[in-house]
Amino acid sequence: MHDVSEKKEHERQLAYQATHDVLTGLANRSLFEDRLAHDISLAKRSKEPLAVLFIDLDEFKPINDTLGHRIGDEILISIAHRMQSVIRPSDTLARFGGDEFVLLLPNLASEQEAEALAELILYEIGQAHRVATQELYLTASIGISLLSRDLDEPARMLQEADMAMYKAKQQGRDTFVVYSEDLDAKLS
């Protein structure tokens, strides 16, 4: 019996590691993409708004370069906890690697709800992060993609949110931008 229990626990751990970021415990890209495809099909059927937020920390590299990767990792964990504290249980927050996070917001009451949450996330990230004896302040740039009825490829929402995030960086960082079709031309 003991061997069976150990084997099951080992299998559970492997399954968790295949779908979650080791550092933060958040969903990883694979799990996020599965949930994105699922939630898009539900949103289209129910005609409810859905959004993807692409969140990139501003000027994170100097933290790793000057203070070390251990401090950088602790900051990433702190940011993950803060974002988790302001989202709903039905939302999916994922770390795509480095200092990139993506948030899937299904079942929105309105598209403006995504913008309000982006503002709240910017506020939370901007608060002091205490790591060891350091008190660090960060900002982020956020791109928002809203589900359009003609979307046929879930990955397109990620691309749109990513483009909007780059536009937010161009506008001076510490802000969010909602994707619009004219961004394709502006960023080219």
* Residues identified as active-site: 99
The answer to whether 36 and 154 are in contact (CB under 8 A) is yes
Query: Closest Cα to residue 154, out of 17, 14, 32?
Result: 32
Residues in the chain: 188
- Alpha helices (runs of H) in 87-153, residue ranges in sequence order: 112-126
Q: Which two tokens stand for residue 169?
A: 């960086």
* CA–CA distance, 57 with 79 (Å, rounded to integer): 10
Task: List beta partners, residue 104.
Answer: 52, 92
List the structure tokens of 188: 């080219």
**Which one-letter amino acid corresponds to residue 139?**
T
What distance in Å separates the CA atoms of residue 172 and residue 159, rounded to the nearest whole number? 20
Concatenating the DSSP letter of every residue in 154-165 gives: HHHHHHHHHHHH
Residue 2 CB partners (closer than 8 Å, separation 6+):
none
